[in-house]
């Protein structure tokens, strides 16, 4: 998918929902932000004080992590590899383990999770581990690409509650790609409809009422209530 | 080296250690097998076993180019061609125009065929065919020192770069999100494998070098519960296969390289069935 004239601002402490039909370029845009796809133009990052950040830290929770499920990488290996220079093939330092346990506790995970192979985790467990991975160290921008697509209904609420509390606590800008407009309405602060370019953007309420969104998602408006 | 030889005499007072070529072979095995165990874990993890096989095949072409150019030390021509070959395969794979196994298959067969044609044209095929099976018993003391340096360098590099290698191996987007330069890390690993394959090919042989890289790691993967256990089990299996294969080959009068591979293969099947049994229980 090739994107044109994409101009977006994401502010500190807000969750910007990127919505659009399949193939509209949502994941492509995230991959460009990750530096995985070449692009022209510029992406400018600044901190909460407005100072420019040359090398921003980006947290990324993918839609469905594609990896070899038989890999012997444990949750502890994954989180400790992200914490510093000590090579995980030699084991983990005590302080790394303690930190990983504290981080996992924030997402409702117990210490026993550290010894589990990531290939053996449930969808919900894996997404929570990936969120911990994305949040360490604290990112300048958090990208969530359909983060709950493999999570059961109970886990979805817990996941978004966690994201919302992280946003409130750290005031980090978050871009959320989601198909589910209910999630967008409930958790996002702003929204943008993408279809090769930014079609409309604004507050969630404003965007949801636009004919472009209604057309893209096949919605009807009756008395202001989306059906 | 005389101190080490005396130490071997003291610790291993057996018939097979009475000969200096066996002492040298033992030392070479003690250095090469941990090296292969270490690098093999990421070759298996990255599903690159065909790639390392292709690199082994390219060594023959490197020798042929050395012969044609009148190079005295074939290691130079082998290394040069192997690095070029590895980077070419990697670049074509990056372009994602064909599946990776097809690309590697094409390069592998082309490299081998080119080596055979060039060597036969220069009339030296029979002279260099020994590289096909290798001979660990021909290793010289100065080569053992070089192997020790390479092992030390690889362990050091593994210490510095392993976490990045592991994250890239797991998922490239996830690794990129942490600021890791994915392509650079991938190229680094490709070059590392090319160097290790090239320097070892003389003693291990084109035909079996890949088995020694892949079998210990594949066996360890059947048992491993973490990256740490994966590494140490692979190194342990590699060392055990190497030393026991060398001793068996001495008493059985068989080729050392092939015997070592057979021991490693037996261990693989044992771990495979253990893993199957564990999965069922």
Distance CA A122, CA B251 (A): 52
Chains A & B: contacts with CB separation below 8 Å: 90
Q: Which comes out higher in pLDDT, residue A200 or B131? A: A200
Rounded to a whole number of angstroms, the distance from the CA of B255 to the nearest CA of chain A is 33
Identify which of A113, A119, A117 has the alpha carbon closest to the alpha carbon of residue A100.
A113
Which domains are delineated in chain B?
2-274 (1.10.3470.10)
Provide the CA A84 distance to its chain's centre, in angstroms.
23
User: Are B162 and A89 inside 8 Å of each other by CB?
Assistant: yes
Distance CA B243, CA B121 (A): 39
B108-126 as b/e: b if 16+ CB within 10 A = beebbebbbebbeeeeebe
Q: Which comes out higher in pLDDT, residue B29 or B112? A: B29
Identify which of A33, A60, A61 has the alpha carbon closest to the alpha carbon of residue A45.
A33
pLDDT score for B39: 94
Q: Tell me which of A144-153, A190-199, B56-65, B166-175 is least confident.
A: A144-153
- CB-nearest to B179 from A55, A65, A118 is A55
- B170 has a chain A CB within 8 A of its CB: yes
Q: Which comes out higher in pLDDT, residue B75 or B251? A: B251
| CB-count burial class (<10 Å; 0-12, 13-18, 19+) for A37 | middle
All residue ranges of chain A with pLDDT < 50 are 223-225, 227
Range 83-122 of A in CB contact (< 8 A) with B: 85, 87-91, 115, 117-118
Distance CA B86, CA B52 (A): 9
pLDDT score for A38: 83
Number of H helices, E strands in chain B: 13, 0
A71 contact partners, CB below 8 Å, separation of at least 6: A117, A118, A119, B45, B169, B170
Contact A179, A20 (CB under 8 A): no
pLDDT score for A227: 45
Q: What mean pLDDT is reported for chain B?
A: 90
Strands (E), A57-209: 58-61, 141-145, 174-177, 190-194, 198-203
Which domains are delineated in chain A?
15-64+139-226 (3.40.50.300)
B153 contact partners, CB below 8 Å, separation of at least 6: none
Residues of B with Cβ-Cβ distance to A97 under 8 angstroms: none
Identify which of A143, A127, A130, A178 has the alpha carbon closest to the alpha carbon of residue A30.
A143
- CB-nearest to A89 from B47, B158, B169 is B158
User: Are B229 and A72 inside 8 Å of each other by CB?
Assistant: yes
Q: Which comes out higher in pLDDT, residue B98 or B152? A: B152
Distance CA B205, CA B257 (A): 8
Distance CA B21, CA B249 (A): 13
Identify which of A168, A173, A167, A135 has the alpha carbon closest to the alpha carbon of residue A12.
A173
pLDDT exceeds cutoff 60 at B47: yes
- B226 has a chain A CB within 8 A of its CB: yes
- B172 has a chain A CB within 8 A of its CB: yes
pLDDT tens-digit series, residues B203-236: 888 888 889 999 999 999 999 999 999 999 999 9
Which DSSP string do the residues of B226-238 spell out, in sequence order?
Answer: SHHHHHHHHHHHH
* ipTM of this complex: 0.86
- Tokens encoding A112: 């026993």
- B275 has a chain A CB within 8 A of its CB: no
């Amino acid at each position: 998918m090739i994107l044109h004239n994409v101009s977006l601002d994401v502010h500190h402490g807000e969750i910007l929902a990127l919505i659009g039909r399949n193939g509209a370029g949502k994941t492509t845009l995230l991959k460009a932000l990750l530096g995985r796809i070449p692009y022209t133009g510029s992406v400018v990052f600044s901190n909460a004080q407005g100072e420019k950040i040359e090398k921003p830290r980006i947290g990324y929770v993918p839609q469905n992590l594609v990896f070899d499920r038989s890999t012997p990488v444990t949750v502890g290996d994954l989180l400790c590899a992200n914490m510093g220079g000590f090579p995980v093939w030699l084991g983990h330092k005590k302080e790394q383990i303690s930190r990983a346990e504290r981080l996992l506790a924030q997402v409702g995970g117990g210490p026993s999770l550290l010894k589990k192979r990531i290939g053996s985790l449930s969808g919900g467990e894996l997404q929570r581990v990936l969120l911990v991975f994305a949040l360490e160290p604290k990112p300048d921008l958090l990208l969530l690409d359909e983060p709950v697509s493999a999570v059961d209904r109970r886990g979805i609420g817990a996941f978004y509650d966690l994201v919302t509390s992280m946003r409130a606590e750290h005031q980090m800008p978050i871009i959320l790609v989601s198909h589910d407009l209910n999630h967008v309405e409930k958790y996002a602060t702003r929204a943008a409809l993408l279809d090769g370019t930014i079609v409309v953007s604004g507050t969630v309420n404003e965007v949801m009422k636009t004919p472009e969104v209604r057309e893209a998602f096949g919605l009807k408006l009756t008395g202001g209530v989306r059906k | 080296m005389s101190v080490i030889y005396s130490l071997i005499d003291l610790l291993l007072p057996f018939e097979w250690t009475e000969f200096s070529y066996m002492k040298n072979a033992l030392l070479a095995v003690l250095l090469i097998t941990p090296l292969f165990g270490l690098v093999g874990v990421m070759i298996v993890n990255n599903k690159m076993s065909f790639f390392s096989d292709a690199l082994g095949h390219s060594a023959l072409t490197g020798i042929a180019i050395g012969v044609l150019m009148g190079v005295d030390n074939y290691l130079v021509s082998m290394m040069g061609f192997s690095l070029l070959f590895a980077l070419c395969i990697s670049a074509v794979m990056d372009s994602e125009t064909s599946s990776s196994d097809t690309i590697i298959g094409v390069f592998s067969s082309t490299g081998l065929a080119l080596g055979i044609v060039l060597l036969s044209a220069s009339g030296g095929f029979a002279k260099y065919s020994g590289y096909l099976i290798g001979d660990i018993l021909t290793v010289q003391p100065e080569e053992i020192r070089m192997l020790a340096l390479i092992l030390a360098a690889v362990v050091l590099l593994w210490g510095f770069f392993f976490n990045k290698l592991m994250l890239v191996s797991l998922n490239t987007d996830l690794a990129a999100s942490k600021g890791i330069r994915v392509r650079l890390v991938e190229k680094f690993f490709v070059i590392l494998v090319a160097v290790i394959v090239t320097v070892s090919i003389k003693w291990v042989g084109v035909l079996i070098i890949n088995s020694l890289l892949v079998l210990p790691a594949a066996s360890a993967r059947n048992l491993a519960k973490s990256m740490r256990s994966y590494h140490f089990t692979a190194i342990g299996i590699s060392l055990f296969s190497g030393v026991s294969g060398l001793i068996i080959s001495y008493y059985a009068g068989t080729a050392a390289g092939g015997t070592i591979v057979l021991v490693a293969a037996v261990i693989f099947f044992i771990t495979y069935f253990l893993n199957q049994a564990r999965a069922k229980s």
